[in-house]
Amino acid sequence: MAPTALKKDTTKKRLIIFGVLTASLILVSIFAIPLCPYDPYLQDLSNAKAPPSAMHLLGTDRFGRDLFSRVLAGSHTSILSTLLLVAIITIIGTAVGLLAGWWGGKIDVILMRLSDVFLAFPGLVFALAVAGVLGGGLHNAVAALAAISWPKYARIARSQTAAIQKTPFLAAARISGNSNARLILFHVLPNIIGPILVTSMLDIGTMMMELAGLSFLGLGAKPPAAEWGSMVSDGRSMLSDSPWIPFSPGFAILLSVMIFNMLGDTIRDYADPKHARR
C-alpha cells in the first residue's frame, strides 16, 4: 500500500474512533440527568468532603453532593451550551460572510470593518467586558462569546464566496435564470460549507474552555448550577485538603476538549489531502 493511501486509511480509522467518542460524549450529555446515580443538587452535610469510594465514585463536595452526579449533570450544561454557541457563531458568521462576499462594495466594506473592530481586541478579554455589561448567567456568557467569535467565520465565508463568484459554473447558473437567493443557497453555500464546518469543529474545544473560563470567573453559570467551570471555581479553595472536588470537573473539561480537538484535527486531515500527505 502506498504511503499516501496508508496515511489516508489511518486517518479514516482515527475519524471513526474519535467520531464514536464524540457521539458518546454528546449522548451522555443529553441523557445526563437520568444517568445520575444521585440527585446532583441533594445536600448531605453529614457526608461533606467524603473521598472517592464505592458509594461515591468521585467523592462528595463541601455540601455532601455526589460529585459523579454533578459532573454528569454538568456535562448537560457545559457541552450542550458549547455546541449551541458554536452553532450560533457559525450561522451568524457564515451569513455575514456570504452577504459581504456576494454583494461586495459598501456592504462588504462595512461588514468587514465591523469584524475588524471585534478582532482588534483579545477574544477572552472582550468577552469578559461584554459579559460584565450583560451581567452574570450562562445565557449572557454564551451571548458574550457569540458577540466576539463570529468574525473568523465571516472572513472564511467571504473569501470562499468571492472566489466562487469567478467560477464558470456559477456564471452558467446565473445565465440560466436563477435568483440571487437560489444561487447562494444551492450553488455557493454547498461549495463553501466544508472549510467552515472544519473550523467549527476545531473551535468547539476553544469555546468550551472560554465558556468554562467565564463561569470560573463568576460571569457564567452561577452556583448551585452544575457547570464544570463554576464547579472548579467553587472547589479551588479545597485543592489542598480535598483535591478531588476541583479535580473531577477539571478532568471532565480536559477530556472533553481533547476529544473534540482530536476529532477536529482528524476531520481536517481527512478533508485536506495536502495536509494528509505531510
> Does residue 162 belong to any structural domain of this protein?
yes
Q: How confident is the model at residue 10 (pLDDT cuts 50, 70, 90)?
A: confident
> Does residue 59 belong to any structural domain of this protein?
no
Q: How confident is the model at residue 228 (pLDDT cuts 50, 70, 90)?
A: very high
> Does residue 54 belong to any structural domain of this protein?
no
pLDDT > 80? residue 182:
yes
Number of domains within the chain: 1
In this predicted structure, what is the pLDDT of residue 262? 93
> Does residue 6 belong to any structural domain of this protein?
no
The CATH number linked to 176 is 1.10.3720.10
**Per-residue pLDDT tens digits for 212-226:** 999 998 888 887 889
In this predicted structure, what is the pLDDT of residue 276? 44
- Containing structural domain, residue 223: 79-276
> What does the block give as the cell for 88?
450560533
> What does the block give as the cell for 95?
451569513
Angle, CA 96 vertex, CA 201 and CA 196 arms, to 5° = 20
Average pLDDT of the chain? 88
In this predicted structure, what is the pLDDT of residue 151? 92
pLDDT > 80? residue 202:
yes
Q: Which residue has the higher pLDDT, 87 or 184?
A: 87
pTM for this prediction: 0.89
> Does residue 176 belong to any structural domain of this protein?
yes
Secondary structure percentages of the chain, helix, strand, coil, to 5: 75, 0, 25
